[in-house]
């Protein structure tokens, strides 16, 4: 591994030519906060969507006599069952 003795100072200087960014930590925190909130939002949207789909099925489909609340519960359970 010693054949680079002459070039290593140049390589070091080349890697060193970019300077650390003092704003990077704050930017990383902000990006992760956004990502976490998106992560929480996605299941919420899926749950709401499944509930609505269940409601629509019950209301317009064969099970029109089903109560809307149980349809929503069924839709949500279906979704989570499917996801697992």
Partner 1 sequence: MLSKAGQGDERAFNTLVLRHSSFVHTIALRFTQNAADADEITQSVFWTLWRHAARWSRERARLRTWLYRVTVNRCIDHGRGKGRWRRLFRGGSPDVEPADPAPTAEARHGAKDDLSRVQAALLTLAPRQRMALFLVAYEGLSGADAAEAMGTSPGAVEQLLARARKRLRELTEGETT
Residue 15 as a binder of partner 1 (CB under 8 A): the answer is yes
**In the complex, least distance from residue 2 CB atom to partner 1, rounded to whole angstroms:** 10
Q: Which is nearer to partner 1, 35 or 84 (CB)?
A: 35
Q: Which is nearer to partner 1, 25 or 82 (CB)?
A: 25
Residues of this chain, 36-75, that bind partner 1 according to CB under 8 A = 36
71: exposed, middle or buried (Cβ count in 10 Å: 0-12, 13-18, 19+): buried
Q: Can you say whether residue 19 is alpha, beta or left, with left for phi > 0 and alpha for psi between -120 and 50 degrees?
A: beta
Dist. CA 46–CA 16, nearest whole Å: 47
For the CA atoms of the chain, what is the radius of gyration?
27
Binding site for partner 1 (CB under 8 A): 1, 3-4, 7-8, 10-18, 20-22, 24-29, 31-33, 35-36
């Amino acid at each position: 591994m010693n054949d680079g003795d002459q070039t290593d100072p140049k390589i070091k200087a080349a890697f060193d030519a970019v300077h650390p960014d003092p704003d990077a930590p704050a930017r990383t925190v902000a990006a992760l906060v956004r990502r976490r909130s998106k992560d929480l939002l996605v299941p919420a949207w899926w749950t709401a969507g499944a509930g609505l789909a269940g409601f629509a099925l019950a209301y317009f489909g064969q099970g029109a006599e089903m109560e809307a609340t149980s349809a929503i519960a069924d839709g949500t359970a279906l979704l989570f069952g499917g996801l697992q």
